[in-house]
Amino acid sequence: MGMDLELRHLKVVSAIAEAGSLTRAATGLGLAQPALSAQLKRMERALGGALFVRGPQGVRPTELGELVLERARVLVPAVAELQQEALRFSRAGGAPRGRPARFRLGGLVDRLASAHPEATVTTHTSWSAIELGCLLAEGRIDYVLTGVCGQSPPPAAGTGERLVWREVAVDPVFVMLREGHPLAQLPEVPLGELADARWTNVPGDGCFADCFAAACARAGFTPQAVYETDTASCVHLVQVGRAVGLCRATFPPTPGLVTRPLAGSPLLWRHLLGWHPESPAAGTAADTLAHARAVHESAAGASPSYAAWRRIHHAAGVP
């Protein structure tokens, strides 16, 4: 199935051309270079040819790349101008009098719907944190609830827009094992004990895959295989014993599997809430952040394995 070309892809191509280097472009976009390289390859497959050639001085556009850049120089500023006009219109007039508030965000539905029963709550879900950052910068969603690996920076929109990001929580990454797995009885699973395992995880465009590979290397092995698929398929692969999974520590109890912390917490996940400082949503951002933190705390308490991990580590003075 081919990839549909979107505005964010044109922004990535423009960023690479402007930087003249995949490494510099990745830094500017807040991506690991392998993630940007993979994204560029997907775009090139969708467009039917190479967009850049590598040379001693960096990268330069091919003829096809020049064609795409020519279109991007027209489309990206035009859409940015439309976005600014729409935001000015929205900020000047706001919602019509008597009309309920409208929340548009990629998650955190139940609590906001309860707290604001008069509001319209719509969502947009994406595996791409970069796409969500672009939608936020373009004013197409009000908040982004996403995550990044360890100490990685928040997703960059690649638009020059100044976005606000606040940390909701930081969790260790857990492992999913089928019930009856030999390691399921351990309170914490050493990563090295899973050297012979096949793995499954949800996809993404951040640096998590690289950080996982590095953690495995520190544990003395290279993962045999990593199946990237949706959450339901990850759960199924674990339940039937085909793979072990990586998951957030707050993953809810699920029949047929258990979640366990990795010994020493070699991988961390930062939950982030983002918004545009000049959008109407900025006025309710503090309230929304409080709701997000409360939802996380509730989820942490509902996971027996995470609740146990927190009791042990907080008692030992680990934040």
Distance CA 2, CA 243 (A): 27
DSSP 3-state percent helix, strand, coil across the chain (nearest 5) = 45, 20, 35
Distance CA 6, CA 41 (A): 15
- Per-residue confidence (pLDDT) for residue 7, from 0 to 100: 78
Q: Residue 177 in contact with residue 258, Cβ under 8 Å?
A: yes
Q: Is 283 helix (H, G, I), strand (E, B) or coil?
A: helix
- Per-residue confidence (pLDDT) for residue 37, from 0 to 100: 86
Distance CA 162, CA 76 (A): 17
Residue 203 structure tokens: 């996809």
Q: Is 241 helix (H, G, I), strand (E, B) or coil?
A: coil
What would the mean pLDDT of 80-90 be, rounded to a whole number?
61
Residue 14 structure tokens: 């423009």
CB atoms within 10 A of CB 240: 10
Shortest CA distance to 228 belongs to which of 204, 260, 211, 206?
A: 204
- Per-residue confidence (pLDDT) for residue 177, from 0 to 100: 97
- Per-residue confidence (pLDDT) for residue 30, from 0 to 100: 76
Shortest CA distance to 250 belongs to which of 168, 156, 131, 127?
A: 168
What's the pTM value of the predicted model, to 2 decimals?
Answer: 0.67
pLDDT digit string (tens) for 226-262? 888 888 899 999 999 999 999 999 999 899 999 999 9
Distance CA 177, CA 197 (A): 11
Question: For 65-95, b where at least 16 C-beta lie within 10 A, e where not — what string?
Answer: beebbeebeeebeeebeebeeebeeeeeeee
- Per-residue confidence (pLDDT) for residue 92, from 0 to 100: 52
Full set of structural domains in the chain with CATH: 7-89 (1.10.10.10), 101-319 (3.40.190.290)
pLDDT digit string (tens) for 263-315? 999 999 999 999 999 888 898 899 999 999 999 999 999 999 999 999 988 75
Q: Which has the minimum average pLDDT: 60-74, 156-170, 277-291?
A: 156-170
